[in-house]
Structures are given as C-alpha cells and as structure tokens.
Amino acid sequence: MSETTRVRRKRGSITQDEIVTAALRLTDREGESALTFARLGHELKASPTAVYRHFANRNEILRALANHLDGISIDGYVPTDDWRRDLEDLGWRAWRTAITHPAAAAISLSLVSNGANELRAVEWVLRAIHCAGVSGRDAVVQYQVYTNLVLGSAGAQAARLSAADAVESSEGWIQVYAPKDPSRYPHAEAVKAELTSVTYEEVFAKQMQMYLDALAMTSAGRSEAPA
C-alpha cells in the first residue's frame, strides 16, 4: 500500500476488454458488491468516470461480463456427432464457469448479453437439438427448455456460493418462522437426514440426465445412431 504516483492514462489506453477483465478480477477477489465504478476505476488505475466512455451504464458492463463468461465456457468446445454428449458437455461448461466465478456469474448469468459468444452457444445447442432429430418450432421450445435448465441451475449455484462468500449469516435476529411443529411436516422430517449427503452438483447431473432422456424420447425413432 505505497502511495501511487497517479499518471493520466493515455487516450485509447482503456478498452472494453480491459474493463471486463478488471470487473471479473474484482468480483472474483471481493464479491458481487465490489463491482462499482469507483473500484473499477481504481483497478484500472483510471478515473471512475472513464468507464463511461466505453459503456453506457452499469448494466452494459454486466452484459459484457455475461458474454465474457460465455467465452470462458465455450473456449475449446468442438461440436461432435453425438448430440447427447454435446449438450451434456455444454451444460457442464456453464456449470464449471459458474462455480469458478460465482460472484460474476450470480450478477450477470441471468442477463441476455446478445454477445458473440452467446450467439455461438445458441448455435451449438440448436445444432445438437437438430442432431437429436428435433426441428422447427419444437427445436425452439427445446432450446428454451435446455437454456432454462442450465442457466437456472448454474445461476442458482453461483448465487449460493457468492452469498456464502459474502455474508456471515445474521445470527442474533429473530427467526420468525422457526420449524416449531415438526409433526406437521412429516415428509420434510423423514427426509431431513439425507439432506447433508446430497450435493447440488449431483442434482444438476440428475437434472441433466432426466432432460436428455426426455429429449431422446421426444425424438424417439428418428435419432441418428452414433457410429
């Protein structure tokens, strides 16, 4: 923490890419709440307001961050002939990105970025669905179902991890709705013991398999057999 000799940054020295990279570094290190113009400016060694030359507002930064995460997810992905493997692969890529960058994913994953990487991912999902023998209107519906599933699960997991990083969980305050009467909730009670042994990753795996099974049924008889 030495005193920094603040130099004026040359014009054109700040790019959208540099800002997004700084935003990811910031959120990875210090969580969701660290993504402010002030701290972004400090991270870039520039004035907070300089960012406004490159993004219209905070939401545009979030959308660019979403697209950046999409890029991390699909980096190195190559489509194959096996639609089932492809959809599973793409899903786990999103999951891994979400748990690697939970804070960034939590604040940006639910946004439609309209970015190039998102478009690429959309294309690949539609390709896999086409390979599964679903086309036209049904393909659009299946694309949406798949996206809901993957982004919903990965986003929820990111939110959980990000929240766990951030809060100390406020004890000492009135737990208004305590489980006062466990006998009224027999099924919840019966299953209580198993709760700790189930992981969200396992749930995601199961959810993915159920979806892929159902999709295979939808296109039953038409799906091309793997070589």
* List of residues contacting its own copies (CB under 8 A): 16, 56-57, 60, 64, 67, 110, 112, 114-116, 118-120, 122-123, 126-127, 130, 135-137, 139-145, 148-149, 151-153, 155-156, 159, 170, 173, 175-179, 184-188, 190-191, 194-195, 197-198, 200, 202-203, 206-207, 210-211, 213-215, 217-218
Amino acid letter for position 51 = V
Length of the chain counted residue by residue: 227
**Cβ closest to DNA, residue 167 vs residue 227:** 167
Q: DSSP class of residue 45?
A: T
Binder of residue 175, out of its own copies, DNA, none (CB less than 5 to 8 A by kind): its own copies
Shortest distance in whole angstroms from residue 2 CB to its own copies: 36
Binder of residue 99, out of DNA, its own copies, none (CB less than 5 to 8 A by kind): none
CA dist 134 and 142 (Å) reads 8
Shortest distance in whole angstroms from residue 3 CB to its own copies: 35
Binder of residue 8, out of DNA, its own copies, none (CB less than 5 to 8 A by kind): DNA
CA dist 118 and 116 (Å) reads 5
- Tokens representing 96 are 């891994």
User: Does the CA dihedral 45-48-50-55 come out positive or negative?
Assistant: positive
Count of alpha carbons within 13 angstroms of residue 52, beta-carbon side: 6
CA dist 135 and 129 (Å) reads 7
Shortest distance in whole angstroms from residue 30 CB to its own copies: 18
